[in-house]
Structure 1
Amino acid sequence: MTPKKRKKDADPLAEYRGKRDAERTPEPVPDDEALPHGDDDTFVVQEHHARSLHWDLRLERDGVLVSWAVPKGLPWSPETNHLAVHTEDHPLEYATFEGEIPRGEYGAGKMIIWDRGTYETEKWSEREVKVVIHGSRVSGRYVLFRTRGRNWMIHRMDPPADPDAEPLPESLLPMRPERRARLPRDQAAWGFEFGWGGRRMPAYVEGGRTRFTDDRGRDVDGPGGLGSRLGAALGARPALLDGELAVVGGREIYMVYDVLHLDGRPLLDTPYQERREALDGLGLSGPRWQTAPWFPGDGDAVREAAGEQGLPGIVAKRLDSPYEPGEESGAWRFVPSR
């Protein structure tokens, strides 16, 4: 139903039940009986790893959870509106649901509670819903307004949730190493990575989606499925990653070796060692992407291992070095494996 007062003789969960088999899905599928009475103040946002990652916003209203699928999540700033697709009403029990919806079933994929709490209604009509949300991860005044059919938009009415947060840059040229014949003498001051010999592709990840650029800052297509799956791995966390598409073990893998912007914070001036530790903390490891290993202070062993694996060389990076976009810097050095 559209977000309005339901008719007493209508069954707002008929569409919900019609799409689900209670014997096949772990989702709550209540019997056709009187709806529970609540206080119309519960909200939940669920991260839904379905065919396409999205976030489901649900607001308790007249005994059901009125629901919208929000592909990019709730906007953190009033400068950007996000699409919100109105879906079928869900039972109140869904506010606590987490689990794996089986393949072949409607909405197949993992459902995770991203945030929940209470809300207050300022306005509720067929075309506009204005609420104040009180959650642990998202709080503030939001308005949903209908544009066409089931398509709505959601707009944040308050100032940005984090006034100091900065959006991802539109484009950033990658930093390049100088070519050297020998390893640095003071190896304890350096970290060492394998030189993969791949294609440089910074990745801009936001709202579960990924955009790639090349080493000249131009938009390029990533391998089929890589962008959406990498975006799903980061979920709602915006990040700018530096890495390259390389052939590893006979397969094309996106090797990630730096993070330049994370959770609204630019990291260009952050020392390399701290950026690498932040990257490791993201746990990025999947079938088409990996966090590239790094080794502080032992360049000789890394160079020897690179030669044994047939890699072109290694990259030495000063532990205290900032990221210098577009520059060829002596703080990074490519050393051939032979």
Structure 2
Amino acid sequence: YDLRLEMDGVLKSWAVTRGPSLVPGEKRLAVHVEDHPLDYRNFEGVIPEGQYGAGEVIVWDKGVWIPEGDPHKGYAKGHLDFELRGEKLGGRWHLVRMARKPREKHDNWLLIKSEDDFARAPEDEDILEEMPRSVDTGRTIGDVAENKPARRSKKAAAPKQAAAPRSIRTSTVAPTQAPAADIDPSRLKGAKKAPLPNFVAPMQASSGAAPSSKEWIHEIKFDGYRVQARIEAGRVRLLSRSGLDWTKKFGDEVASALRALPLGAAIIDGEIVVETSSGASDFSGLQADLSAGRTDRFVYWVFDLLCLDGYDLRGATLLERKGLLEALLGAENGDRVRLS
């Protein structure tokens, strides 16, 4: 494995032979190697023998890194603290340079995971074994060696979730607003009375042949952040796909629109995006707004209603859940919260 972090227009690179570990405090040797051009960040294929990194290459993970403090000072000092927001890796990490020994040609660093909600226990499954495929093409190293084509869905390798939430709580809060007559979750076949769970691990895309029958519906692929809205007694929490509370990151505009919905308790699944003038989602714009603390452009595209006012709806059909979600949004469907 190679860890590559963009800095000053190049990819600072470390060879992590055993790959990253999500076990807090577990040290993985990271040998500092030459900088790579930014074009390398999307390369998949075979590097010829005799060149650095010879062999098969896939994009195992990608995303953004957020340094704590001045990254240039940390890099020069030999101690980088940072957060990763990737499709597989997340949370806080450390890169620590060790003293160079005689005759060593490269600086040896240690890659170490911090204790947080993305961490795993030593007995948990290794993320390298759990998620071996490319996040870009869905291929494995073996597929590249055999020159197999990319899978049809670029999200084939999307993870189930970077880490399980540390605690799951339930509550039984009654609705505080009177729902409209056509918003009755008890009428949905498959709906079951149940307390509101604190978090539901979101479903992720998996690879397969494109369906052609009428039993399938299709979703737009947004370039944003998957967000689960948990609404309870007028309080809104916006949770990342791993269960982290990102409500403050996204400001009050989306949360206010959700608070206005005629319900007491619900869990809604969707994605927060920033849109271009043409209406396309813009991930780089979303990242820039989050970094700048700007929240006025965020739009929450919602595509599923998992729970509503004392009922777990996951046993109902997706079309029925979407119909109930559309009725629930009513006049709120359009500005900050939109039905996908």
Task: Assess same fold via TM > 0.5.
Answer: no
Q: Name the TM tier (shorter chain).
A: 0.3 to 0.5
The structure number with the bigger radius of gyration is: 1
Tell which has more relative contact order, 1 or 2 (C-alpha 8 A, sep 6+).
Answer: 1
Higher helix share: 2
Instruction: Give the TM-score, by structure 2 length.
Output: 0.33
Instruction: Give the TM-score, by structure 1 length.
Output: 0.33
